[in-house]
Amino acid sequence: MADKVDMLGGWTETKATDEIQKISNQVKDQVERFTGKNYREFEAVEYRSQLVAGLNFLIKVHVGAEDYIHLRVFQALPCNGGEVVLRGVEQNRTKKDPLVPFIN
């Protein structure tokens, strides 16, 4: 699922695919523990990726009504097990908020 980037470590343009929903679903339990909320809706609507020693993802997820969250997710390379791990969550986001790197 690696995307073409101009250079190693650069972020791709924002896009949407069905494959990113699968990654989002893999971390949903981690997101719910992190936020203390249970999400009935959990639809990945767009993402950006960054090739490092694996893949970093910034994912915008619609969680109901006008509510969105941003996820920071790391996926290890297949040769390293391919594990998908939640690295951060930004709550209280809107549909228009851009996906930008964050740390929390």
Is residue 99 in some structural domain? Answer: no
Question: Domain span at residue 73?
Answer: 19-93
Mean pLDDT rounded to a whole number for the chain? 92
CA separation, residue 10 to residues 3, 20, 56, 93 (Å) = 10, 18, 10, 23
Q: Is the dihedral of CA 16, 17, 23, 29 positive or negative?
A: positive
Do the domain assignments include residue 69? Answer: yes
On whether residue 31 sits in a domain, the answer given is yes
Is 64 within a domain? yes
The total number of structural domains that make up the chain? 1
Across residues 95-102, what is the average pLDDT?
97
Residue 8 has pLDDT above 70, yes or no: no
- Within a domain: 24: yes
pTM of the model: 0.89
What pLDDT, in 10s, does the model give residues 49-83? 999 999 999 999 999 999 999 999 999 999 999 99
Is residue 13 one of the residues assigned to a domain? no
Q: Is residue 104 situated within a structural domain?
A: no
Q: Say if CB 70 and CB 84 are below 8 A apart.
A: no
Is 41 within the bounds of a domain?
yes
Query: What is the three-class DSSP state of 60?
Result: strand
Domain CATH code at residue 50: 3.10.450
